[in-house]
């Protein structure tokens, strides 16, 4: 037989055809085995939580209320979900996942904690805000159960807030009133430190114009330090009213 200049005997041609049929049969067998194997594998679902959304609001001082995506600064937003998942109760645990922040001191020592951002200490009187308003925060520690968001703006921010340390600015956003809600949790840590927290919220009025939210915290016990004890009581009250459609 002659084909394109190549010569094959009848025996060789039969052998080639048999080999092709064998390879095709093997391919079909492998395909069936793979399909059967895939059917035998149990499906696994992976659920992830976005702890920081680019659309999250940020009080940017002179820039106004911007989203993270619109803020021309390096910003880290710690959400309420994040704080609850990590059970934040100290300044050190609040910024535990932020590599640029170092915390000096300890919540359980006689000295209050201080923050350094990129190695630069923050100003006690100008670097800390609550809802965008300056506070004097000499101790460093605050009742984190009362906040729904903490924003760290890193870098020089003097033109945004006036006087400010070059390290950055920390803004604490208080919890706002929601529809009927009651959350009660208790905890025990550090050998014998007992804690309890009540978070209650409601809205009243014909159309829910008025809202109230209360957070109560009690923490007491012996710390890991020798002869160290802690006795912390926190109470916060948030009230808001929507007087008209355009005035909140």
For 63, the token pair is 């820039």
Where do we find the tokens 């059917």?
39
8 Å CB contact between 185 and 106? no
8 Å CB contact between 212 and 177? yes
Where do we find the tokens 């067998």?
29
Residue 200: the pLDDT is: 92
Residue 8: the pLDDT is: 47
Mean pLDDT per 10-residue section of the chain, whose length is 248 residues: 48 53 52 57 55 64 73 82 86 86 72 78 84 81 88 77 79 88 84 86 86 91 75 88 77
8 Å CB contact between 113 and 122? no
Phi, psi of 22, rounded to the nearest 5 degrees: -65, -45
Where do we find the tokens 């520690």?
141
Per the document, the length of the chain is: 248
8 Å CB contact between 31 and 24? no
Q: Enumerate residues 6+ apart whose C-beta is below 8 A from 219.
A: 89, 193, 194, 195, 196, 230, 231, 232, 233
Cα separation, 37 vs 243, whole angstroms: 64
8 Å CB contact between 169 and 161? yes
Residue 2: the pLDDT is: 44
Q: Enumerate residues 6+ apart whose C-beta is below 8 A from 215.
A: 143, 145, 146, 175, 197, 198, 199, 200, 234, 235, 236
- Give the neighbor-by-neighbor strand order of the sheet with 147-154: 74-79, 147-154, 168-174, 128-130, 133-134
């Amino acid at each position: 037989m002659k084909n394109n200049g190549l010569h094959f005997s009848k025996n060789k041609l039969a052998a080639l055809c048999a080999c092709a049929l064998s390879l095709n049969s093997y391919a079909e067998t492998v395909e069936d085995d793979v399909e059967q194997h895939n059917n035998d594998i149990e499906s696994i679902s992976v659920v992830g939580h976005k702890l920081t959304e680019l659309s999250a609001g940020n009080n940017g001082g002179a820039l106004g209320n911007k989203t993270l995506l619109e803020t021309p600064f390096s910003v880290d937003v710690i959400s309420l979900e994040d704080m609850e998942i990590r059970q934040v109760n100290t300044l050190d645990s609040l910024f535990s996942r932020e590599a640029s922040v170092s915390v000096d001191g300890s919540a359980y020592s006689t000295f209050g904690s201080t923050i350094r951002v990129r190695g630069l200490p923050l100003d006690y009187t100008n670097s800390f805000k609550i809802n965008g308003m300056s506070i004097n925060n000499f101790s460093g520690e605050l009742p984190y159960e009362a906040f729904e968001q903490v924003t760290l703006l890193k870098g020089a921010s003097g033109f945004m807030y006036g006087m400010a340390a070059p390290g950055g600015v920390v803004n604490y956003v208080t919890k706002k009133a929601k529809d009927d809600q009651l959350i009660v949790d208790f905890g025990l840590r550090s050998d014998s430190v007992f804690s309890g927290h009540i978070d209650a919220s409601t809205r009243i009025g014909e159309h829910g114009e008025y809202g109230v939210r209360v957070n109560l915290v009690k923490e007491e016990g012996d710390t890991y330090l020798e002869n160290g004890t802690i006795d912390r009581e926190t109470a916060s009250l948030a009230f808001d009213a929507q007087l008209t459609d355009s005035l909140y």
